[in-house]
Amino acid sequence: MVGLADTWVVTFEINDGPSQDLNSRSLRSTLKKMISYGLFLGWGAAPVCSSFSVAITPPVRNLEFPFGRPDASEKMKVKMEDGNQCALWLLDLASLSVSKGIHFWIENPDLSWFFRLPP
């Protein structure tokens, strides 16, 4: 990105500490404000997809329950809620970015439930 854009590039890596945790509501709010102010030329995301995979057996999402089946294990319900919140936040950022003409990409497999959520 630095070579292509010839400008600053901001990255986040959870392994670099809590200040890099994109699950932080404060950090999410700050990034949304920065996008709304047009401070970024573009952005990309590769969200964790631990509950969106179609390979999970037994399935924890389906057409009736794209946000997660109510009979999933408690451990999986936590993963589904984290994934759902991340997906909804990224959708919010994507919508804002479209309105501002800011380029973005979001990585997940084509068949992922990430891209099948109703919004």
The pTM for the full model equals 0.88
pLDDT single digits (tens) 57-76: 999 999 999 999 999 999 99
The answer to whether residues 57 and 117 touch, using CB atoms and an 8 Å cutoff, is: no
pLDDT at res. 7: 81
pLDDT at res. 9: 85
Which stretches of the chain score pLDDT less than 50? none
pLDDT at res. 62: 97
pLDDT at res. 99: 96
pLDDT at res. 81: 96
CA–centroid distance for 71 within its chain: 24
What are φ and ψ of residue 15, in 5° steps? -70, -10
pLDDT at res. 35: 95
pLDDT at res. 29: 96
pLDDT at res. 14: 87
pLDDT at res. 72: 97
Distance CA 48, CA 32 (A): 19
Distance CA 116, CA 81 (A): 15
pLDDT at res. 48: 82
Radius of gyration for the alpha carbons in the chain, expressed in angstroms and rounded: 16
Distance CA 81, CA 51 (A): 9
pLDDT at res. 64: 97
The answer to whether residues 44 and 27 touch, using CB atoms and an 8 Å cutoff, is: no
CA–centroid distance for 38 within its chain: 20
